[in-house]
Copies of this chain bind each other. A is one copy, B any other.
Amino acid sequence: MSQFLIPDLKEEMVLTERFITEYLAPVSLNQTVDHIFSHVLSARGKRLRPQLLLLAGRYGKYYHEKRECLCRLGALVELVHLASLIHDDIVDDSPLRRGRPTVQAHFGKDMAVYAGDLVLSRAMQILFSEKFYEAGKWFGITIEKMCTGEIGQYARKFQPETGIEDYRRNIYGKTAALFELACRLGASEAGCDREMSAFLESIGRNFGMLFQMRDDLLDYLSVEEKEGKPTGRDFEEGILTLPVLYALEAPDYADEIRTLIRLAKEGDFHGEERKRLSALIRESGGMKKALRDYRELSHELARQVGHLPAQKETKMFAAILEKLAVPI
């Protein structure tokens, strides 16, 4: 997953990257603000969202005329993503992201609050100055969804009563909503008709859901000895994801998992508890059910992609989907 670039989109991604750099250009008289912008710019991500936006755009009849616009919109989607990462890293207390210190680790949590706002205000300025009025409305709605998802997740921390539906609603907000927006913007800007736009939007949403579910599953599937990453880091933070939520539904296992949740809340979740949790998730059938859900969604998405017109982008969508397979 480290290099996600779709070769066919290379030219557009060069342009998109140029817009991201332009939009985050330091122009202020304030040195610290300039440093923040440079720091945000130097963190090279996969740029997955702009690439999905461009792929969706390829199904529209005006793709070529609208290429520059689409790259600008892709850059804006990435800006909103970057702003959200800055704020998420405050909440998660993350020291690193993609191997580099996060804004909160480098500049402090307080600065990171304003740094996120700053990046968001840049996105807002460009939306108005480039007259992306229809898109802007959807950006606003999506940012609200993203906040709602994060707040929903936070409010459910350490709560064994969290339902599968809560989980789905929260990952839709925190992750899938922006994927959905990317595909919506790409399709509608490039002139897809309403039906096709809605279909691509739904594909974007499902990609986002799958992407987050994969991330959540990997937290329990990473092999500590091999990868040096302990499992259950989400659990330690109180974030209960699909395997745990399903395990909690198994009467013979719920009590012990509740105990582990309490220990995690009290900061007493260590090697022994970590191992026990992994065992409980497997024995209870929680992991199996979570993987089943993941595969079902993956198949549903493959089916949707299969219904797209036969053109090379459809193969690219399928290729991304393959990369998203959980490695077990």
Contact = CB atoms under 8 A, between A and B. Distances in A.
Given A124-B136, A133-B133, A139-B124, A118 B151 contact: yes
Contacts of A151: 30, 32-33, 36, 111, 114-115, 118
Nearest to A174: B114
B113 A152 contact: no
B140 A121 contact: yes
A144 B146 CA distance: 21
Contacts of A136: 124, 127-128, 136
A75 to B, nearest CB: 15
A125 B111 contact: no
A152 B121 contact: no
A150 B147 CA distance: 22
A110 interface: yes
A43 interface: no
A53 B146 CA distance: 31
Interface in A57-100: 87, 90-91
Contacts of A121: 140-141, 143-144, 147
A28 interface: yes
A120 B298 CA distance: 35
Contact of A91 (B113, B118, B131): B113
A310 interface: no
Interface in A160-215: 169
A113 B87 contact: yes
Report how many copies the assembly holds: 2
B117 A147 contact: yes
A137 interface: yes
- Of the candidates A30, A115, A120, A147, the one having the most CB atoms from chain B within 10 angstroms of its own CB is A147
A137 B129 contact: yes
B30 A110 contact: no
A318 to B, nearest CB: 33
A9 interface: no
Given A90-B113, A117-B120, A139-B124, A28 B129 contact: no
Contact of A33 (B33, B137, B148): B148
A122 interface: yes
A154 interface: yes
A149 to B, nearest CB: 9
Contacts of A33: 147-148, 151-152
A5 interface: no
Nearest to A131: B133
A325 interface: no
B140 A124 contact: yes
A223 interface: no
A137 B124 CA distance: 8
Interface string A206-230: 0000000000000000000000000
Given A30-B155, A87-B114, 6 more contacts: A33-B152, A111-B155, A124-B136, A127-B128, A128-B137, A136-B136
By Cβ-Cβ distance, the 8 closest A-B pairs, closest first, are A125-B140, A121-B143, A124-B140, A128-B137, A32-B155, A91-B110, A118-B147, A121-B144
